[in-house]
Amino acid sequence: MGKRTNLVFTAPYEMALETEMLPAPAPDQVLVETLASAISAGTELLFYRGQVPDEMSVDATLAALAGAVRYPLRYGYALVGIVVETGAAVDPAWQGRRVFVFHPHCSHLLATPAELIPVPETVTTEQALFLPNMESAVNFVQDGAPVIGERVVVLGQGVVGLLTTTLLARFPLEQLVAIDQFPRRREASRRLGATAVYGDMSGAAQREVDADLVYELTGNPAALNTAIALAGYDGRVVIGSWYGRKRAEIDLGGHFHRSRIRLISSQVSTIAPHRQGRWNKARRFDVAWRMLAAFDPAALVTHRFAIQDAAQAYSLLDQQPDEALQVLLTYGLAP
């Protein structure tokens, strides 16, 4: 048999490529050869920096990410590849199919068909790598439930923030404000439909908003105070960020309390309870695929690194976040 290469986080800010013999698929498995994988500049950098609570599981909802947070560990959850071999009990129609897998970065993987999501023919490989972030954006919009004529603010214009802005721009809102400290992201926000874009919300810019709905997508817990300050009476603040071990003092005093502001935790691993009667993950994925085909987020890809240069990719995202939007890892196969 051949060999496969795995990207392993050996300690905070340290990683290595490990090579191992590639086992043959079990009767109920397929072998997938990777085309490309995407690095999450939010959640994944928490693992890279060692900012994830030790007592947590890596991701209890995904079989490929089971287990406690303990170095060395493998992480990543956006991989597209081609099925190159099928087990004896697997429908041979899987052979040659392009598939998305929630799986750590590696050159090859074994999975059951239930763990694979076929990539629609209308979606390119690079578009497909945005599936997790687009699903998150769809979830944020559903949880925020924007209403015609509302004033909406999106704090944070990383990839998931930009996709959320893209979806919100389809709604007949009075105002859609995007906020981010980095000029490259603000430029993308304007292009994707934000009606106003700011580097911060101090002074007059803050007073003109009085938002009905605010999304906190920066990954910085201190930004929650800004989100609260921007929300008007009975405003909704959707917290899509995951802060890991990061902490900040949150002001829940006068404005928050007297204005009846609602804080909404939004997380993509589950469906909101009030929608579970009609919605499931498959239905939400269908929406995400349609949005990916409609908006072509591949334009947000700024850097591509061979898997052998993965350390450079993570260093770029960690040290120069103003330079990068979506960073991909490539594995030598044509898409």
How large is the average pLDDT for residues 137-155? Answer: 97
Check residue 244 and give its pLDDT.
79
Residue type, 179: I
Percent of the chain with pLDDT over 70: 93
Check residue 35 and give its pLDDT.
97
Residue type, 17: L
Handedness of CA 129, 133, 136, 140 (dihedral sign): negative
Check residue 54 and give its pLDDT.
66
How large is the average pLDDT for residues 120-129? Answer: 95
Dihedrals φ, ψ of 212, to 5°?
A: -80, -35
- Closest by CA to 38, choosing from 80, 69, 4, is 80
State the distance between the two ends of the chain, measured CA to CA, in whole angstroms.
24
Check residue 254 and give its pLDDT.
81
Check residue 43 and give its pLDDT.
85
pLDDT digits (tens, 9 = 90+) for 273-327: 999 999 999 999 999 999 999 998 999 999 999 999 999 999 999 999 999 999 9
pTM of the model: 0.91
Cis bond before residue 72 (omega within 30° of 0): yes
Cα–Cα distance measured from residue 265 to residue 252, given in angstroms and rounded to the nearest whole number: 16
Handedness of CA 297, 138, 222, 328 (dihedral sign): negative
Using the predicted structure, report yes or no on whether residue 255 has a pLDDT greater than 80.
Answer: yes
pLDDT digits (tens, 9 = 90+) for 38-96: 999 888 988 899 888 766 555 545 454 455 678 899 999 999 999 999 999 999 999 99
- Closest by CA to 222, choosing from 253, 243, 244, is 243
- Closest by CA to 267, choosing from 160, 182, 121, 120, is 160
Check residue 246 and give its pLDDT.
82
Check residue 205 and give its pLDDT.
64
pLDDT digits (tens, 9 = 90+) for 149-198: 999 999 999 999 999 999 999 999 999 999 999 999 999 999 999 999 99
Cα–Cα distance measured from residue 37 to residue 126, given in angstroms and rounded to the nearest whole number: 9
Q: Specify the CATH superfamily of domain 3-119+296-330.
A: Medium-chain alcohol dehydrogenases, catalytic domain (3.90.180.10)
In our burial notation (b when 16+ CB lie closer than 10 A, e otherwise), range 205-231 reads ebeebebbbbbbbbbbbebbbbbbbbb
CATH 3.90.180.10 location in the chain: 3-119+296-330
Using the predicted structure, report yes or no on whether residue 26 has a pLDDT greater than 90.
Answer: yes
The total number of residues shown for the chain amounts to 335
Q: Which CATH architecture has domain 132-270?
A: 3-Layer(aba) Sandwich (3.40)
CATH 3.40.50.720 location in the chain: 132-270
**Taking all residues of the chain, what is their mean pLDDT, rounded to a whole number?**
91
